[in-house]
Amino acid sequence: MNLGICISLFLLVCGLSWTLAQTNITCESKSQNCKQCLSNVSCLWCISTQSCLTYPYQTILPPHSLCPLNDARWGQCIINFQTLIITLSVLGAIIIIGFFICLFHCCKCENCGNSTQERKMQRKADKRTNAQEQRRSEMMARHDEIRQKYGLSRGSAYAKFDNSA
């Protein structure tokens, strides 16, 4: 949550410092109403004092002595600065949490899918191996049967050509 606040405030400060460097207009001269004051992004309207102030970008947040956060307006007259900061922080936190949830979900599903797929492939390989061994043992049994039927021993194939017997 603090990361969202830091990022939004950093971007705010960068934008304000660039705007202040580009314009030499002081905000205090625009103290007629909120809408006129906030037409310049480097200005801050304070409802309690009904004054337009130059945004204190060096301190990131306006100090309470200058204007309380719930009375400060920046960007739009409707939304106070405190609500703006809280909203941006919550949105930033939701986006970050959502990103990590999606990342976790995708990684978890990918790992589950791979292990399930690997298990299926292993089962198929085991079935093929078992079937092959069973066919081989049946074939060997048939061959032994044929050898027994014709009186052939399982010894050397050249034993019947041996002259010493």
Q: What is the pLDDT of residue 97?
A: 96
Q: What is the pLDDT of residue 20?
A: 47
CA 84 – CA 87 distance, rounded (Å): 5
Reported as a single tens digit per residue, the pLDDT across 17-74 is 555 444 445 788 766 788 888 888 888 889 888 888 888 888 888 888 888 888 888 8
Lowest model confidence (mean pLDDT) among 100-109, 119-128, 140-149:
100-109
The residues, any chain, with a CB within 8 Å of residue 37's CB and separated by 6 or more, are 27, 30, 31, 43, 44, 45, 52
Distance of CA 108 to the CA centre of its chain: 12
**Percent of the chain scoring above 70 in pLDDT:** 72
CA 100 – CA 147 distance, rounded (Å): 69
Q: What is the pLDDT of residue 31?
A: 66
The amino acid at residue 25 is I
DSSP 161: G
Burial (CB count within 10 angstroms: exposed 0-12, middle 13-18, buried 19+), residue 152: middle
Q: What is the pLDDT of residue 2?
A: 56
